[in-house]
Amino acid sequence: LREHEEFTKVKNITKIELGRYEIETWYFSPFPAEYNSCEKLYFCEFCLNFMKRKEQLQRHMRKCDLKHPPGDEIYRSGTLSMFEVDGKKNKVYAQNLCYLAKLFLDHKTLYYDVDLFLFYILCECDDRGCHMVGYFSKEKHSEESYNLACILTLPPYQRKGYGKFLISFSYELSKKEGKVGTPERPLSDLGLLSYRGYWTRVLLDILKKHKNNISIKELSDMTAIKAEDVLSTLQGLDLIQYRKGQHAICADPKVLDRHLKAVGRGGLEVDVCKLIWTPYK
């Protein structure tokens, strides 16, 4: 049985068409058996239904009346929109999204019950519709204080700041919930890189303002970043001393400035005033 499982995990679908992009896939994804012989799949960029042939997609596009993800638009700023999709209310969409996402996520087993998750879909909007650039998922109720389960920026949109935007958005939701949060483990290399970058930037900015007069707990409360992640980030920056059994922040202004110069800037900020959202009940 094990051998059979390994055999079926060979990457099947090597590329997909989505909106105006053809995208090479990265990993295996457990599409239903009838799609396994296909090299390329054609996705409707709005409802995420997938098809084996281009003509099927063309026919579908003539009658599909979605022009954006299902669910509620909870954020809009300029051409950027964020939609919240309940996996229970939009089960097929959520499952399609998971199949699609798994093509770019190695270590995640995504085949949980989509009912238990909310999906936050980031879109670039124009006169043709709202085009998904990435998303993250979030458990409706997390025992482990996870505020994000899976995050993906579609390859054509990577390295433009969307990942950072999605991470930042996940913490803004946690702030509204009055909770601290942390991403589900394990993180991929790219995931860790993106989180480290985000945590570093956010924490350094606050330390710069408050000099040394702030504790790890206070930093955690202000940012909704879980205390363990605050500590590991500051340790990585060599800003922590261990004294009398306690971790203390020890931020030499020169060291702070050196770190601040090194972190990436600019890009897409979440404009909190434009977020219209209440926590899931």
The set of catalytic residues is 184
Sequence-distant (6+) residues with CB within 8 A of 56 are: 42
47 binds, among ligand ACO, Zn ion, none (CB under 5 to 8 A by kind): Zn ion
- Smallest separation (angstroms) from ligand ACO to the CB of 192: 8
Cβ nearer to ligand ACO, comparing 57 with 135: 135
56 binds, among Zn ion, ligand ACO, none (CB under 5 to 8 A by kind): none
188 binds, among Zn ion, ligand ACO, none (CB under 5 to 8 A by kind): ligand ACO
| CB of 83 closer than 8 Å to CB of 72 | yes
- Smallest separation (angstroms) from ligand ACO to the CB of 202: 11
| CB of 164 closer than 8 Å to CB of 171 | no
- Smallest separation (angstroms) from ligand ACO to the CB of 235: 18
Helix boundaries (H) for the chain: 2-8, 54-63, 91-102, 162-177, 189-210, 216-223, 227-236, 253-262
- How many whole angstroms separate alpha carbon 156 and alpha carbon 257? 34
193 binds, among ligand ACO, Zn ion, none (CB under 5 to 8 A by kind): ligand ACO
Cβ nearer to Zn ion, comparing 92 with 206: 92
Cβ nearer to Zn ion, comparing 46 with 199: 46
Cβ nearer to Zn ion, comparing 51 with 103: 51
| CB of 249 closer than 8 Å to CB of 217 | no
- Smallest separation (angstroms) from Zn ion to the CB of 40: 18
